[in-house]
Amino acid sequence: MVELSTTKDGIPNQAEASDRVLQILSEAGRLFATKGYDGTSMRDIAVACGISKSLLYHHFSNKDEIYARVAVGSTLELYLFVRDRVPDGPPSQKIRAFMVATAEYFRRYRWAWIASTTAFWNDPDRHRQKERLTRRDRFENFLRGLIQEAIDAGEIRKVDVPMTGRLILSSLNWMHRWYNPNKSATPEQIADIFFDMVFNGLRSGDAAAPPPAEPPKSSRRKARQTSRS
């Protein structure tokens, strides 16, 4: 319960919220993530919390505000969260830290993450959408800056920076569609594996770099499915 919006750990949102409000945000986030915005009624949220529908309107002015607190409110500082976890060092390792930090954010605020990325990716032309895109741009431009750094430092090839950013973010943004918290690796470990693949490439060491010292826990199976992509 109440897994969103902890006030510790530098996530500054949802400050001063009562337990009941936190409960509502938690249940609403889970419902928005699993059933979508339109598919989740105010009654659903009320029943999940064991309260009356009217009480929701005592704490929030309308459904949109609940969604905003769940999605925008908790996605608020993804950029800050990640930026503070990217230490100084070689640019390529900063990219790796960027990916691992984003995965950590995903693991910790999973429902809010899913709700914000799936429920409203289009949207009834809201002004809030613009705000989200602004944050998204800030986040993405941060990554592009890191990529450019790595290019300037000669650590990575002169690839197309926006396209490289999209590849990296794709691997992270799609994770919620197949990640199962009960098995396989943690999101941080997955991000690490993806970084290794993208940075070092899949190509074998013939006439190139030798197979890296740490093969990322290569489970030698014959391509049976475990979970979908």
Partner DNA sequence: ATTTTCACCGACCGACCGGTCAAGCCCGCT
Partner DNA sequence: AGCGGGCTTGACCGGTCGGTCGGTGAAAAT
Q: Which parts of 62-81 interact with DNA (CB under 7 A)?
A: 62-64
Figure out which of the listed residues 5, 26, 40, 116 binds DNA, where binding follows CB under 7 A: 40
Euclidean distance between CA atoms 99 and 105, whole angstroms: 10
Q: Is 5 in the site for DNA (CB under 7 A)?
A: no
**Residue 171 is a binding residue for its own copies (CB under 8 A):** yes
173 sits in which H/E element: helix 161-173
Residue 206 touches which member of its own copies, DNA, none, C-beta under 5-8 Å by kind: its own copies
Binding of DNA at residue 34 (CB under 7 A)? no
- Interface with its own copies (CB under 8 A), residue from 34, 52, 61, 62: 34
Q: Is 101 in the site for its own copies (CB under 8 A)?
A: no
Q: Which stretch binds DNA (CB under 7 A): 60-68, 171-179, 192-200, 211-219?
A: 60-68
Work out the number of other CB atoms within 10 angstroms of the CB of residue 33: 23
| Structure-token pair, residue 219 | 């489970």
Instruction: Pick from 85, 129, 161, 186 the residue near its own copies by CB under 8 A.
Output: 161
What, of its own copies, DNA, none, does residue 217 touch, CB below 5 to 8 Å by kind? Answer: its own copies
Contact present, 37 and 112 (Cβ < 8 Å): no
Biggest CA–CA distance in the chain, Å, is: 69
Selected binder of DNA within 9, 15, 16, 54 (CB under 7 A): 54
203 binds its own copies (CB under 8 A): yes
Distance of CA 193 to the CA centre of its chain: 16
How far is the C-alpha of 111 from the C-alpha of 124, rounded, in Å?
21
**Closest among 189, 197, 95 to 142, alpha carbons compared:** 95
Candidates 9-17, 76-84, 97-105, 117-125; binding stretch for its own copies (CB under 8 A): 117-125
What is the rounded CA–CA span in Å between residue 76 and residue 121?
A: 16
- Burial of 91-130, coded b for 16+ CB within 10 Å and e otherwise, reads bbbbbbbbbbbbbbbbbbbbbbbbbbbbbbeeeeeeeeee
Select the residue interacting with DNA from 2, 13, 42, 188 (CB under 7 A).
42
53 binds DNA (CB under 7 A): yes
Give the binding site for DNA (CB under 7 A).
18, 20, 40-44, 51-55, 57-58, 61-64
